[in-house]
Amino acid sequence: MKIGIIGMGNIGGMYAKRLSCVHDVIAYDADNEKLKNICLANGYIQASSLEDINHQAEIILLAVKPNGVKSVLRELQGKGKIFISTVAAVDQQNYYDVAGQITLFRIMPSMVNKTGGPIMVVRGTYAGDEEEQKVLELLQLVGHPYLIDEREMDAYMCVMSCSPAVFAEFFKQYVESFCSNSNIESEKALNTVLDMVEQLVPILRTERYDIIRQVCTPGGITEVGVQHLSNNREFFQEMADNMLFRTQVISASVREQQ
C-alpha cells in the first residue's frame, strides 16, 4: 500500500520511518531541499506536489502545523481517500468545512512512537467500519491505537502526547535538585532514575497508585517528598488548565481562518 505523508518534521518523519518497513511511503514537504535529502536517505518516493501525492497515495497522513491544515486540504480535494491527521487542536468539523464529507481519522501521536506506545484515534463522522479496521491495522505498525471520542481528544493530547516532554522536565528538575545539594554525578543519577522507571512501569500497570503506600514508610524520607507534591496539587491543576486553554486558543485561531 502507498502511504502519503505531508510534512516531514518530527512526527511526519517518525511515522514515515516506522511505516516504510511495510509500505511504500510517498513524502511531501514544503521545504523541497529538506524533502529531497530525506527521501534519498530513507528510500521514500518524493512527491513533486500535493496533487502528486493525492494522485499516488491510498492513505494520506497530515503532519502539518494547525494553521496549515485548511490550505493543504483545499489543494488536495482528495475524495475517496482516507485521511489521517496528526494535527493537534483542530477538530474534525474544520476538515469538513473545507473538504466536505471526507473519510477522516484524527490521531494524537507521541514521540515515544519511535519505538511504540499509545496513539489516540478519533474516527471521523463519515468513516466506516472497513476504513477503521484498515487504519487501526496500519497504526499497529507504529504503536498501540486507542479509540476515543472527539470530545476527549484535547485532554488526551495533554495527558499522553505532551507527557514525554513534561516528564523529561520533571526528571531533569528532580535529579538536578539532588545533584546540586550533593556530590553525585547528574548523568549517573539520571541513568539510575531511568533504570528504576523501566522497572516501575509494569508494577504500576498492575498495582496502580498502591505503590505509593508500599514505598512510603510513615515518618520516613519518601513520605516527605510525596507530601510535598501532594501539598502543591494546585501547581499541577494550574498546569493542566493552562495546557487545555492553549488547545482552545489554537482551535479558535484555525476556525477563524478563511
Can you give the residue ranges of every domain in the chain?
A: 2-152, 163-251
DSSP 5-22: EE--SHHHHHHHHHHTTT
Distance in angstroms between the alpha carbons of the first and the last residue of the chain: 34
**Chain centre to alpha carbon of residue 45:** 24
* CA dist 155 → 89, 149, 168, 245 (Å): 10, 11, 19, 10
Question: What's the confidence (pLDDT) of residue 258?
Answer: 62
Question: What's the confidence (pLDDT) of residue 256?
Answer: 83
Reported as a single tens digit per residue, the pLDDT across 204-251 is 999 999 999 999 999 999 999 999 999 999 999 999 999 999 999 998
Question: What's the confidence (pLDDT) of residue 112?
Answer: 95
What cell numbers appear for 80 in the block?
475517496
Looking at domain 2-152, does it have CATH number 3.40.50.720? yes
Give the strands of the sheet with 24-28, arranged side by side.
Answer: 45-46, 24-28, 2-6, 59-62, 82-85, 103-108, 118-123, 144-147
Instruction: Read off the amino acid at residue 247.
Output: T
> Cα torsion for 120, 130, 72, 150, to the nearest 10°?
-40
pTM for the full predicted model: 0.90
**What distance in Å separates the CA atoms of residue 53 and residue 57, rounded to the nearest whole number?**
6
Q: Grid cell 497522513 — which residue? A: 61
**What distance in Å separates the CA atoms of residue 126 and residue 65, rounded to the nearest whole number?**
23
Q: Grid cell 501539598 — which residue? A: 231
* CA dist 249 → 31, 34, 109, 252 (Å): 27, 30, 20, 5
Q: What is the CATH number of domain 163-251?
A: 1.10.3730
Q: Where are the beta strands (DSSP E) in the chain?
A: 2-6, 24-28, 45-46, 59-62, 82-85, 103-108, 118-123, 144-147
Question: What's the confidence (pLDDT) of residue 183?
Answer: 86
What cell numbers appear for 209 in the block?
497508585
Residues of the chain with pLDDT under 70: 78-79, 258
